[in-house]
Amino acid sequence: MRVICDSHGDQGIGLACIHVAGAIDGEAISGCYCSSATDMARPDAWCQDCEAALLDQGWNEDWFKAADFKILCAACWDLASQRFGMVKSASTEV
């Protein structure tokens, strides 16, 4: 899947929780986590609060809906990764 980003043009995609997606534009978050391999250009990414919820309740539809994942172009995802120091999730479910 690809997307046309206003800033970066034609790019592959990654998903990010609403908190990470919003932080690219200047909102403050602490911590950034990602899943393992994916069939998209970038793995799913989420903030520290979403990571805590994932570790507490496990991956399920309610967690996914609460994270309110947004599509990011690969270059925007990379920006978030650089800005927030992306690390692999501690969850064994992702």
Phi-psi region of 38 (alpha: psi -120 to 50; beta: other; left: phi over 0): beta
* 78 part of a folded domain: yes
* 10 part of a folded domain: yes
Mean per-residue pLDDT for 33-52? 93
Output the pLDDT for position 18: 94
Does the pLDDT at position 24 exceed 90? no
* 35 part of a folded domain: yes
* 94 part of a folded domain: no
* 93 part of a folded domain: no
| Domain coverage including residue 11 | 2-88
Q: What is the mean pLDDT of the chain?
A: 93
* 57 part of a folded domain: yes
Does the pLDDT at position 27 exceed 90? no
**How far apart (Å, rounded) are the C-alpha atoms in residues 20 and 22?**
5
Name the pLDDT band for 13 (thresholds 50, 70, 90): very high
